[in-house]
Amino acid sequence: MTRFYILREDAAATAQYNGHFDATHKWRLPGVQCHTCGATWGSAGQQYPGVDLSQLPERTQLVSPWPVAVPEFERLRELVRPLAPSGVGLLPGAQFGPLEGPASGKFGPFTAEGDILWLVQRDALERLQVEGVKGLLGCRTELRFRKKDPPDILELQIEPHGRLHPDCLPPDMPPQCATCGRLGFSLPDEPILESASLPTDLNLFRVGDFATVVIGTERFKDAVHQLELPGITFREIPTR
């Protein structure tokens, strides 16, 4: 049976590099202010760098993170939906298009921001694909380096799939808000994945109901180690 691992940035490895970037995605869905559950929120980990909204006439309405009421959020989400991967939730705060902003220094094969957003050097990505790692989608970035011969840095579009097993969630968990879709829980200390919900054709994905958690399969981990690509630590997450 396949094992699954949570990806974290390997601080010791990335300290050998000094790559730095200060960038945001070109477009976004706003946060929401919900009168049903009373929450004002936006999600993290909903990043779709390969979704190009440049031809959308309403794209200028998709740049502000400031929360809006639920009907306005839903209107904006429906503008994006035809251009987004099918079946993904598109939560408040979802981000689209290339990362834009200044960058400097030397980048290793992998660079993470908060373990949520993952950058990869193009040649590292290609070597993983040659090894047969499935479901890796490298998207162009618009990082601006001031030096000559800037590195070819891509952002991985890691899509949400599967979910946590109910056994690892608190029994008194409040239900999902029917109006805004908010799930009011924090990541358990000992998360468990629900086996039956997991994708079988991807070696890298986010947890569908907890998109800040990035999961690599054993196949992904073995390929990263075999190619000696530094930058990631792997912590096994059980399945049930």
> Residue 207 interacts with Zn ion (CB under 5 A)?
no
> Residue 179 interacts with Zn ion (CB under 5 A)?
yes
Beta strands in the chain (DSSP E): 4-9, 20-21, 24-28, 32-33, 40-41, 47-48, 68-69, 95-104, 110-113, 117-121, 138-140, 142-145, 153-156, 160-161, 204-207, 210-217, 232-237
> Residue 40 interacts with Zn ion (CB under 5 A)?
no
Q: Nearest approach, Cβ of 34 to Zn ion (angstroms)?
A: 3
* Cα three-residue angle 180-81-97, rounded to 5 degrees: 105
What are the phi and psi torsion angles at 93 (to 5°)?
90, 0
CA-based torsion, 228, 14, 8, 157: positive or negative: negative
Residue from 29, 37, 103, 125 touching Zn ion (CB under 5 A): that is 37
Residue from 16, 24, 36, 40 touching Zn ion (CB under 5 A): that is 36
> Residue 177 interacts with Zn ion (CB under 5 A)?
yes
Residue 37 or 116: the one with the smaller Cβ distance to Zn ion is 37
> Residue 91 interacts with Zn ion (CB under 5 A)?
no
> Residue 176 interacts with Zn ion (CB under 5 A)?
no
Residue 57 or 175: the one with the smaller Cβ distance to Zn ion is 175
Task: Note the residues at the interface with Zn ion (CB under 5 A).
Answer: 34, 36-37, 177, 179-180, 182
